[in-house]
A = this chain, B = another copy of it.
């Protein structure tokens, strides 16, 4: 497949007349051909007109058609072949195995949502039959289903050029819900984006769906993204990126004439709590695993373990020494973009420059675009006194906070902003102490994990990749896993509709065979 640098607007490929830009090879900083024509506001308008027109038809596609569509996207992505992986490697600097894995994850995610669509439970069908004889008032017939909210704007993320990008989790869940999607590609991987976008475009055509179900727009600046969120035709927004970016979109969305939800996954330092029993029993092993997790993908994960809490003592000293030793052996890794690298360097310098922060180790230095790992430590009182110490440093650096006792450690946790994950490392002897902290952790995070690290987010039914603000803009949701579809649905109730006017899932003979709750009972087909 050749990459042309065109915007994909419905079934068309259109060279944008806005400012053009090129992808940058992450490892070298060299531009990669071709040039991408930034979308104009007219291009955006056309994409949204098509999306609006497509919504009526697409929202009422039968479940099998919609599931097949998601599977076809998956097939088309695989059909691109190695060109996709190579282009993503060049644009992101991420290594081949990671990108092959990410492709598998992206395809698997689309297939999972195909299963969610076929199952039909996401429709939350409910029927409260009429009770004409009820006193003092008869009860009407009430039926409920979830409907899609409307066209959804999705922003590609820099750090997952496949799984959180053009056909990533936001797009997959919005399409599964029945919403057309307009993607604003991340300018760090436009070629990867175009390849995947063309795969989706092919799937739309192959499945006979209205072209407006999907469009892909390029812009190296902010105009198109901001206009997309501000447009009255957009019903919801999916975003993974920086806190500043997410907050800017939230502000646009909340000050529209009609405010809309923004599902922004923004910033998290993912505390790791090391309990004494576990540290004593296997501090070295935990330290090595930590070093592996914090440097994975150059530390460019939303779930990167950036904060480690432990109790003062020999065991913690040993952990710090072992983690420092492991990190100091870690080669520097190419970061996603020069901008991300610069922000990382700035964040590390700020941390290192803090009077009370001590450097434990730095990883090996590398090329100018490569992020050098880092490990620092600070005492809990200092951490508690300075909120700046809990700012996310996006990259392979961790901060150990030395706590005097469990009470102080608990106060450190209580001082944290909302997080995506918290990990606790425990042995049998730590269970009581861990149990006492769990209620606090639950209020702070979307996922609690034991004896592991948050990197590696399983695409599953019981996954929450979310968490209280500012980890996300909306802690009631997840952007990974089957529950992510709920972000793009809303319930509608139908009262006393004759059967021929009811939507298919609610007709009396249940032609879809989807599970339905009658009078609030267990769902049955």
Contact = CB atoms under 8 A, between A and B. Distances in A.
Interface of A: 56, 59-60, 101, 115-116, 119, 121, 124, 126-128, 136-137, 139-140, 142-144, 147, 149-150, 250, 254, 258-259, 261, 417-418, 431, 434-435, 438-439, 442-443, 445-452, 456, 458, 460-464, 466, 468-470, 473-478, 482-483, 489-498, 500-501, 503, 515, 517, 519-520, 522-523
A500 B447 CA distance: 17
Contacts of A258: 417-418, 468-470
A371 B151 CA distance: 42
Contacts of A462: 126-128, 142-144, 493
Contacts of A60: 439
Given A147-B442, A462-B127, A523-B523, A140 B254 contact: no
A198 B348 CA distance: 56
Contacts of A490: 466, 468, 475-477
A491 B520 contact: no
Contacts of A477: 490
Contact of A447 (B478, B492, B519): B492
A491 to B, nearest CB: 5
A127 to B, nearest CB: 6
Contacts of A464: 144, 491-493
A292 to B, nearest CB: 14
A115 B519 CA distance: 12
Nearest to A236: B476
B515 A522 contact: yes
Contact of A116 (B115, B434, B461, B520): B520
A445 B492 contact: yes
A446 B498 contact: no
Contact of A498 (B126, B431, B442, B523): B431
A449 B495 contact: yes
A446 B496 CA distance: 14
A451 B497 CA distance: 9
